[in-house]
């Protein structure tokens, strides 16, 4: 049997398909929340939040990205990233009307994408090679809306998870760290404007690395080998100017703190009000134990 790029794990009997109208989902009140799940802890956090609120979910898990343990307890299906037609069919078959995009997805080459006819039609229209990550995500969101889904941001479901301004834990940045943060903010906004990445690592005024295709975790691992003597560097993470806020929001969590500590950094600074904090209590505990600061800042050109 040929590889279809799709595998389905049926949900419990009490979660049947329902509420379809003319082949499209009939609205958010008539079906589960659809979660398109990539890597990282955000999909798991959303599933936990929906479970606590008594809201049904259907997870479309991206192969090679989503955490199997995070999705296996809820109705879900696995789908290769290039299988757009199958993905839309699965969402409709499970009566999804409201969707959230959660977690990271490594952008493959066009050859590695192996798009089906539906994905190829979208890529031909938008010009895949000409778009950065945010531009591509913006196009995907518009396409999902064109198909009749309502796309919402994870922050609308996890409002309490936004990073506040100032320190989260006991540790605060000193004057030297604040200077690195200010430098990092300028750089992060610059690369964000070019739709390259959201984060940079700065140590004593030196740029150790900027986030590109490897994501924040990869950036931290790479910068560990580039550390200079003296006080450690700072991870600075911001929202891209004009970013599509319903996809790829800046996110930090326990793994960010662990990798920052392993890489010899002395702190994390991220844009207040725009950054999601996963497992906040654990982030604070880990940061305090490692002697790292987690600090919410507002870039001078960011919206209030």
pLDDT at 69: 92
pLDDT at 159: 65
**211, pLDDT greater than 80:** yes
Examine the domain organization and report whether 149 and 180 are in the same domain: no
Of 102, 123, 157, the position where a domain reaches its end is 157
Identify any residues that bridge with 297 across adjacent strands, giving them in sequence order.
271
**31, pLDDT greater than 60:** yes
Report the run of H or E that residue 285 belongs to, with start and end.
helix 280-290
Task: Please report whether residue 204 resides in a domain.
Answer: yes
Look at the alpha carbons of 302, 159, 105, 282 in this order and tell me if their dihedral is positive or negative: positive
In terms of residue numbers, what domain contains 200? 162-297
pLDDT digits (tens, 9 = 90+) for 212-224: 878 899 999 999 9
State the CATH number of the domain containing residue 211.
3.40.140.80
Examine the domain organization and report whether 77 and 205 are in the same domain: no
If pLDDT is split at 50, 70 and 90, which confidence band does 2 have? very low
pLDDT at 10: 43
pLDDT at 129: 54
Examine the domain organization and report whether 144 and 182 are in the same domain: no
User: What percent of the chain has a predicted confidence (pLDDT) above 70?
Assistant: 83
pLDDT digits (tens, 9 = 90+) for 215-274: 899 999 999 989 999 999 999 999 988 777 777 788 999 999 999 999 999 999 999 999
Instruction: Please state whether the predicted TM-score (pTM) of the whole model is above 0.85.
Output: no
pLDDT at 210: 95
pLDDT at 26: 36
Mean pLDDT of 136-146: 84
Mean pLDDT of 25-47: 78
| φ and ψ at residue 197, rounded to 5 degrees | -165, -175
**153, pLDDT greater than 60:** yes
Residue 134, helix vs strand vs coil: helix
Examine the domain organization and report whether 149 and 233 are in the same domain: no
Range of weakest confidence among 52-66, 129-143, 179-193, 220-234: 129-143
Task: Please report whether residue 302 resides in a domain.
Answer: no
pLDDT at 13: 31
* Tally of structural domains, the chain: 2
Task: Please report whether residue 303 resides in a domain.
Answer: no
Q: Which of 164, 216, 214, 211 is nearest to 192 (CA)?
A: 211
**301, pLDDT greater than 70:** no
**12, pLDDT greater than 50:** no
pLDDT at 196: 85
pLDDT digits (tens, 9 = 90+) for 104-113: 877 766 666 7
Examine the domain organization and report whether 79 and 169 are in the same domain: no
Mean pLDDT score across all residues of the chain = 83
Of 128, 157, 186, the position where a domain reaches its end is 157
Task: Please report whether residue 278 resides in a domain.
Answer: yes
CB 42 within 8 A of CB 54: no
């Amino acid at each position: 049997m040929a590889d279809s790029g799709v595998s389905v794990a049926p949900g419990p009997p009490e979660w049947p398909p329902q509420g379809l109208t003319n082949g499209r989902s009939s609205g958010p009140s008539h079906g589960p929340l659809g979660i398109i799940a990539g890597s990282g802890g955000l999909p798991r956090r959303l599933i936990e939040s929906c479970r606590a609120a008594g809201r049904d979910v259907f997870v479309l898990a991206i192969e090679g990205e989503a955490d199997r343990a995070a999705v296996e307890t809820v109705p879900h299906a696995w789908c290769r990233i290039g299988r757009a037609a199958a993905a839309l069919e699965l969402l409709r078959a499970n009566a999804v009307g409201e969707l959230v995009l959660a977690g990271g997805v490594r952008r493959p080459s066009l050859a590695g994408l192996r798009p089906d006819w539906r994905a190829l039609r979208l890529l031909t229209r938008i010009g895949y090679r000409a778009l950065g990550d945010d531009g591509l995500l913006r196009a995907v969101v518009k396409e999902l809306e064109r198909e009749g889904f309502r796309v919402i941001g994870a922050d609308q479901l996890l409002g309490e998870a936004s990073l506040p301004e100032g320190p989260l834990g006991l540790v605060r940045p000193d004057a030297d760290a604040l200077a690195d943060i200010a430098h990092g903010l300028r750089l992060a906004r610059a690369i964000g404007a070019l739709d390259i990445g959201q984060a940079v690592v700065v140590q004593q005024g030196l740029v150790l690395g900027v986030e590109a295709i490897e994501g924040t975790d990869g950036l931290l691992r790479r910068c560990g080998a580039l550390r200079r003597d003296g006080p450690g560097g700072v991870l600075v993470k911001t929202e891209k100017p004009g970013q599509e806020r319903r996809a790829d929001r800046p996110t930090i969590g326990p793994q960010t703190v662990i990798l920052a500590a392993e890489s010899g950094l002395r702190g994390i600074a991220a844009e207040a009000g725009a950054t999601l904090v996963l497992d906040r209590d654990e982030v604070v505990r880990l940061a305090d134990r490692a002697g790292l600061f987690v600090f919410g800042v507002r870039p001078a050109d960011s919206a209030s």
